[in-house]
Structure 1
Amino acid sequence: MATLSRFQSIQRHNLEVFQQQPLAEISGSLGDLGTFLPIVIALTLSHQISLPTTLVLTGIFNILTACFFGIPLPMQPMKAIAAVALLKNFTAGQTQAAGIFVAACILFFSVTGLLGWFTSVVPIPVVKGIQVGAGLSLIISAGAKAVNELSWTGPSWEDNYIWVMFTFIALLMSAAAPRTPYALLVLMLGLALAAFQLGHAKGNHGPAFRLWLPYTQVPDKDEWKVGVLEAGLGQLPLTTLNSIIAVVHLSADLLPEIPTPSATSIGLSVAFMNLFGCWFGAMPVCHGSGGLAAQYRFGARSGASIMILGIVKLLLGLFFGETLVGWLKKFPTALITVMVIAAGLELASVGESLNTIAARDLEKEPGQAERKRRWMTMLVTISLLVAFKNDAVGFIAGMLCHWSYEMPEVLAKLRRKTFNGHWTNASLHEEQSLLP
């Protein structure tokens, strides 16, 4: 009964928020497309995933996530797997094997309670360091892509630095009018510019009706070996830290009025999505803190936002599928760049509350020494994560920094315990010697 009551409460919340701010929810649902679209298109063109299957299944997962969690939880590509797959020209089977391996590990961590325990013992400064580092990494990657692909006049009049400046200024202005559906307007503009380019390009065809035909994808023995060792192992810490632990903490920070999902429930969601979808050729996916920050930044405040996105993706995958690739490839890099930068800024901004009572591990304002320790732990985590482009490296560095500050106190306690033990034994020996 309690579960049913909570489920009904989530649906009421989704409906009420959508009725109050429909445009904001629609705009927020588009916040993560800056990360989603480029990776999906690249993997599709390399024949490493099925675009129709990815759209259909992630659409279904979006809808289910909205119903069970009630927050704008994103559906993001597993970036480490995607990066290795593109770099090393993975087969579709190798890509799916990597996703299935990560999902199986996350399922084990979830059912054994390891995820919940891990979330409870990781210090808040390290968690915030991972979040801020992920935000800065998004900004850096967006900037690098823009520098490589754009100039002041190219590659075309529809896609250049001028559009970056225009879109970024509009982003800053939208902060003064939070109800402006910024992401929705940018998407409409981008699709219009893409359609214009597509119409003037030779040999390109726009979207056409093509019904989705599902198929299974079963990796062979060699594909399992390559996928697991070369991509799956690298993705595992990223999924655990940024897609589960950081998401749990970020949802509590951004949406305190909504019950925060547990690490175990988020882990089970990631596991089941991939243990089902990857067998059909879908892209390995997870819930990223960057996507949650992006959707929140552009207006999403409930599961209604991603439910809308899920319905749209489901319909596009069912009836258009691969024919969408040409159109999406023409989407201006300039507009995607600014959307990703906005997501990165929103995610990085959570570090501001590190030394305030808004940080959930503090009951009062910390003293100067503690503030410095917490700040340094977060800074070490951020620096190493960004420098090595690896969440696991940042996490280990942050934990070592945290333990280095804790060590003197631990040693002092051990000394006091040892001293008290010796004192007690000595006193007992003296008392016994006085007895007749």
Structure 2
Amino acid sequence: MAFSANSFEHNWQTLKENPLGEIAGSLGDLGTLLPLMTALTAGGSISLTATLIFSGVFNVYSGAFFGIPIVVQPMKAVASIALARQLSLKETMAAGIGVGIVVMLLSIVGMIKKAADLIPLPIVKGIQVGAGLSLCLNAGSMLSSLSLNGSKWDDNLFWAIGAFSILYGFSRLPKFPFALLVFLLGGIFAAIEVATSGGGGLPAFGFWWPFNPTIPTPTEFATGFGTAGVGQIPLTILNSVIAVRYLSEDLMPARPAPSVTALGISVGFMNLTGCWFGAMPVCHGSGGLAAQHRFGARSGTSVILLGLVKIGAGLAFGESLASLLQRFPKSLLGIMVFAAGIELASVAENLNSSARDLLSPTSATLGTEQSRSAIYTPLRVLTDREKKERFLNMMVTAAMMLASKNTFVGFLAGVFFWALLRLQDRMEGLREARASYAPLNEASALLGR
């Protein structure tokens, strides 16, 4: 099994040793969740009540099952197309259901595992770097609408600069609860803004029921899956399954990494459960894992805590939370997204030193971080050319992913670059073989005279 059987013990022990880190880390992915969830709710593409409750349940089971902070976050391609084309709730649900079916089937038959074994590591890291830099660009989009004139007291560049200063001013204190402080401050600002603006009431307490079936018609399924779901499939497989597996190994080498099969089945299960009731299409994401880890999460406890809060908020406040979420300060959210992006992109630093494909089979499978570093045995020492080409392969993947705004295009560019390098290797090998046979041919020619 790809996950530890003692996940409960690890979660509980980590919570006792680092409660503040787990609480703060649980909020690390809000920079991705809140904007998309709020926008989709406002556009009528999802049910906020169902999204909070179902995604909360998925958070709890992910944390308990995997034992590490595997997040539950929006499917970004589905969300962006649903917003751009104003897809209805049933069309958006059809996209999530379709992606869930495809990813689950590919996981069960072992296709995703085979893909993960075949894809060169520089390409995987390129996808991670591209996703990280994409988050940084998203953060820039959030912050670009702000100004320094202070006309909006609760959301301007002064708050962003202050948050950035605190984030990296305390960067050598990994247990500093940055995300928790930002969330509390942003929540206070949002509540004051709602109470004083008159644009919407504060959340109203009540009991909200999420089980209202939303069954798409064949036409709605064709529209939703055809326009939003198809483009999400490669993104989910590459960034939410394969990249998550490798990232968990990089960030938490002392914990068993989840298998790509387990992650793929999990993605399918979530969408084949929640989307029938209007819950937002979700997946596991490498950016979310990096964000939770950056702000202190080291076990599944962090996502379990977040899940319990989501369930409680959904049952008690439901759709009435929308107006509050819409006013959460972009200045604070933007810095959280930026930090998550930098954390994700930074996993590329070990590409040519201690990346998994350079370790011997014994050192690569050791169970603890200490033993892995102590008995680290490279399979080979890379030449300068190999280092440069591995780095270029990674950057071509990341750069094309950013330029095209499409993970699959970046992946194809990386594979094509890798194939061209292997072709050159083969041609050089043939030339060397011919050169080595040349003296023998000359000797044979002399003997034949």
> What is the TM-score with the length of structure 2 in the denominator?
0.89
- Aligned mate of 1:163, from 159, 164, 180: 159
Amino acid at match of 1:86: L
Partner of 2:180: 184
Are residues 414 and 31 of structure 1, via their aligned partners in 2, closer, same or farther at CA, if it must alter by over 3 Å?
same
Deviation digits for residues 257-285 of structure 1 (CA, Å, limit 9, x no counterpart): 11111000000000000011100100000
Kept in 2, the 8 Å contact 1:210–1:323? The answer is no
> For this pair of structures, how many residues does the alignment match?
416
Q: Tell me whether 1:102 sits opposite 2:99 in the alignment.
A: yes
Q: Tell me whether 1:71 sits opposite 2:87 in the alignment.
A: no
Structure 1 Cα separation of the partners of residues 355 and 94 of structure 2? 41
Amino acid at match of 1:401: F
Partner of 1:396: 412
Structure 2 Cα separation of the partners of residues 219 and 413 of structure 1? 57
After TM superposition, give the deviation of residue 411 of structure 1 in Å: 4.8
After TM superposition, give the deviation of residue 416 of structure 1 in Å: 9.6
Partner of 1:381: 397
Partner of 2:267: 270
- Aligned mate of 1:344, from 341, 345, 350: 341
Amino acid at match of 2:189: L
Structure 2 Cα separation of the partners of residues 353 and 17 of structure 1? 26
Amino acid at match of 2:96: G
Are residues 366 and 417 of structure 1, via their aligned partners in 2, closer, same or farther at CA, if it must alter by over 3 Å?
closer
Give 5+ residue unaligned stretches, structure 1: 420-436
Amino acid at match of 2:249: A
Residues 101-180 of structure 1 aligned to structure 2 (within 5 Å): 101-147=98-144, 149-153=145-149, 156-180=152-176
SS at match of 1:377: helix
Structure 2 Cα separation of the partners of residues 236 and 155 of structure 1? 43
Please provide the CA RMSD for this pair. Answer: 1.9
Structure 2 Cα separation of the partners of residues 61 and 247 of structure 1? 17
Structure 1 Cα separation of the partners of residues 14 and 117 of structure 2? 31
Q: Tell me whether 1:29 sits opposite 2:45 in the alignment.
A: no
SS at match of 2:149: coil
Structure 2 Cα separation of the partners of residues 271 and 356 of structure 1? 35
After TM superposition, give the deviation of residue 369 of structure 1 in Å: 1.0
Structure 1 Cα separation of the partners of residues 11 and 249 of structure 2? 17
Kept in 1, the 8 Å contact 2:32–2:337? The answer is yes
Amino acid at match of 2:53: V
Query: Which segment is superposed worse, 220-229 or 355-364?
Result: 355-364
- Aligned mate of 1:367, from 373, 379, 383: 383
Amino acid at match of 1:211: F
After TM superposition, give the deviation of residue 351 of structure 1 in Å: 0.9
Deviation digits for residues 134-178 of structure 1 (CA, Å, limit 9, x no counterpart): 00001111102221x211135611101111101000111120221
Deviation digits for residues 312-358 of structure 1 (CA, Å, limit 9, x no counterpart): 00111111101111111111000000000000000010111111124
Partner of 1:426: none
Deviation digits for residues 7-44 of structure 1 (CA, Å, limit 9, x no counterpart): 3x110000001100000000000000000011000001
Residues 302-313 of structure 1 aligned to structure 2 (within 5 Å): 302-313=299-310
Query: Which segment is superposed worse, 287-296 or 319-328?
Result: 319-328
Amino acid at match of 2:198: K
